[in-house]
Amino acid sequence: MVADMIAPHSSHTPDPIKLRDFDEIVASDTLHVIMGYNSVNYFVYKGTPMGYQYEMVQQLCKDMGLFLDLTVNNDVEEAFRCAAFGKCDLIAMELNVAKNRFPRIVFTDSLYKMRSILVQRKDSAGLVQVKDLKHLSGKTVLIPRKTIYQRQLLELEDSLHIDIDIVPLGEVGTEDLCNLVAEGRVDYTICDEHMARTLWAYYPELDFSVIVSKPQPVAWAVNSNSQVWLSKLNSWIETYKKKGNLHFLQRKYFDHPVLYLFGMPHEHSLSGGKISKYDDLIQKYSNEIGWDWRLVASLIYQESRFTTDFQSPSGAFGLMQLMPGTARHMGVNYNSSAEEQLKGGLKLLHYMDTAFAIYIDDESERHKVVIAAYNLGMAHFYDAFELAKKHGKSPITYAVVIECLKCKSKPLYYNDPVVKFGYLNPWYVERFVREIYARYNAYCAVFPEK
């Protein structure tokens, strides 16, 4: 909610960063993660980032006090290359553990075990061509490159004395191939057990009855030089499993597929959907003030879940949760349309951005401060700027501002002559900003900037 007035990433490979271990990750306050984009591990539904792997990584970041910097990439080989050359700290995919899968890559302790499943299309009578793995002889099976599926199929060839035409494809995810099988454009592919348990609800024409492998350990992967980070991850995984969190997520995403998501494709990012029905308006007015529309969308989600008629106990109302006094200054009232509410809220963002520009030169740092002020009101931030100047903090960044705001909970500082607006305990503001930027980062991984 808004008190009365008184960093983007995309789905392409991130720029190289220095090889990092745990201390460097913590010092940077950010965890660089590569994750697959599909209806199991990561997607956006009704503006909410979701997914099995996504929820695990979110909890990991929360427990370790880190911001999540997410890159989506369904190309496993490219993900391995990024980790091997220090372009990410963690590959959060369902990776089958195997020796020598990729140079300079090491796996965490196993998260769980999974089997690989043959995916094929049923005919009009509900029958399939391959009822036994021996029937794969002479068949063409398309798979994503550098997955464990190629090794498993080669082992089948040797053990069953058959010949399979194995075709690895780059930049194609497992779910994409399953979709092609459902459309009749591809005859066979392989997926893991989790994908099969999800897709059966949406694709009754697909068959997942033929098991390709015994249960294999599945894990995450990191750079082999990051030994302290690996140890910390393994300790976290052990605790996470003991708490029953993995079991909970399996029930949520696989035993009861989430909301039968493809029933509402316009609200699902995997089906070309939008963050909200207001995307076009958010883009229009965000462009006018030079803000990333996905950051604004994340703020709106945090404030109102894209609901126009929501009113908080304090009186804040509408999509942008403007307080009545602020709303009047922005030309908005309780009867304003959704577009008028958006226009007024963006006008307020622009006003604060302009007012803070004389204190903070860096735009990305300033936008974080503006988001914080949107929640808290502007007054206390002028105190923070004055404290920062008095104590020689230069340049003024978001972290510096938060540090100075926290100081206002102590008599030494809130009684300082430069402080005009008194005591403050801003514990909730950091969480507000962190959640908005985590969601923003998740939006950036899927939706174009425009």
Q: Which residues have a catalytic role annotated?
A: 303
The residues near 354 (Cβ < 8 Å, ≥ 6 apart) are none
**Residue 70 forms beta bridges with which residues?**
33
Other C-beta atoms lying within 10 Å of the C-beta of residue 363: 12
DSSP annotation of 4: P
User: What token pair was written down for 202?
Assistant: 């949406």
Q: How far is CA 199 from CA 115, 153, 202, 263, 273, in A?
A: 15, 22, 5, 13, 19
CA–CA separation, 433 vs 431, rounded Å? 5
CA–CA separation, 173 vs 274, rounded Å? 21
Do you find a cis peptide bond into 8, omega within 30 degrees of 0?
Answer: no
Find tokens 């909610």 and name the residue: 1
User: What token pair was written down for 236?
Assistant: 């976290």
Query: How large is the greatest C-alpha to C-alpha distance in the chain, in angstroms?
Result: 85
CA–CA separation, 442 vs 54, rounded Å? 9
Other C-beta atoms lying within 10 Å of the C-beta of residue 374: 27
